[in-house]
């Protein structure tokens, strides 16, 4: 029976039909399936399938991937509140768009994926000053600072990742955080992330989830 729910959920997500996807979750709960089953056997596999699809086809439908991530995040928050015991948090991330950049789609996809993977996310929004990335990462006790930039001048400029790196260096905090960047400029120049002082980069909002998870694990004892 649970297999039919998996298929119905995947079909709804593929059609970017949020309401149908949420109805599938409600029906699964009504049939006695636990929140843990829904998260670990239905939602997470759907997100992982999305990641695999995009890694094989970079031109895949981003609307589908965006909706998959957003639905997954919404379901996860609802189901996590019903777990018999709180699940262990994998790590914490602060994320935002660099100063001068107002694009948010990629960041929102990343946030949705991370929440599904049991990563706590603090979304700082768009046009975020470098100082705010650092102060919020400290306050949130994050392992990763994720900076999105969709334009060359915000990716490579002095107010983005470069300044965040300098602030961490000045405050002797480089050992505490990993810097991850993403956005179109980094796809055009795969060495750019190193030039701006990042530790890693992601080609798209979906693969960023895996990249950030790897960075979190690097900092774990």
How far apart CA 199 and CA 145 sit, in angstroms, is 10
Domain boundaries, the chain: 2-80, 91-219
**Could you tell me the pLDDT band of residue 5, with boundaries at 50, 70 and 90?**
confident
What is the fold, at CATH topology level, of the domain defined by 2-80?
1.10.1240
Cα separation, 78 vs 122, in Å, equals 18
Q: Which tens digit of pLDDT belongs to each residue from 77-96?
A: 888 777 777 777 889 999 99
May I ask the CATH architecture of the domain 91-219?
A: 3-Layer(aba) Sandwich (3.40)
Q: Tens digit of pLDDT for each residue in 10-67?
A: 888 777 788 888 898 888 888 888 888 888 888 888 777 766 666 566 555 666 677 7
- Among left, alpha and beta (phi > 0; psi -120 to 50; other), residue 215 is alpha
Note the pLDDT tens digit of each residue in 176-218.
999 999 988 898 888 999 999 999 998 776 678 889 989 999 8
Same topology, domains 2-80 and 91-219? Answer is no
* Contacts of 166 by beta carbon, 8 Å cutoff, 6+ apart: 197
CA dist., res. 209 & res. 29, Å (int): 27
Q: Are 181 and 149 in contact (CB under 8 A)?
A: yes
- Give yes or no for a contact between 186 and 151, defined as CB atoms under 8 angstroms apart: no
Global pTM value? 0.78
Alpha-carbon separation of residue 55 from 10, 85, 145, 183, 204 (angstroms): 18, 34, 23, 15, 9
């Amino acid at each position: 029976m649970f297999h039919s729910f998996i298929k119905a959920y995947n079909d709804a997500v593929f059609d970017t039909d949020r309401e149908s996807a949420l109805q599938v979750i409600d029906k699964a709960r009504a049939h006695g399936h636990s929140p843990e089953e829904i998260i670990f056997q239905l939602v997470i596999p759907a997100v992982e399938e999305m990641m695999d699809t995009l890694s094989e086809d970079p031109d895949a439908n981003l609307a589908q991937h965006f909706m998959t991530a957003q639905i997954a995040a919404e379901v996860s928050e609802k189901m996590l509140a019903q777990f018999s015991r709180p699940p262990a948090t994998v790590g914490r991330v602060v994320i935002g768009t660099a100063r001068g950049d107002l694009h948010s789609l990629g960041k929102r996809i990343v946030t949705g994926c991370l929440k599904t993977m049991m990563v706590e996310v603090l979304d700082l929004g768009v046009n975020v000053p470098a100082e705010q990335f650092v102060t919020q990462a400290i306050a949130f006790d994050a392992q990763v600072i994720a900076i999105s930039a969709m334009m060359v001048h915000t990716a490579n400029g002095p107010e983005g990742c470069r300044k965040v790196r300098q602030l961490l260096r000045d405050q002797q905090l480089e050992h505490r955080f990993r810097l991850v960047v993403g956005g179109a400029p980094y796809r055009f120049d795969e060495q750019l992330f190193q030039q701006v002082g990042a530790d890693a980069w992601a080609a798209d909002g979906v693969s960023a989830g895996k990249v950030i998870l790897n960075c979190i694990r690097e900092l774990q004892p």
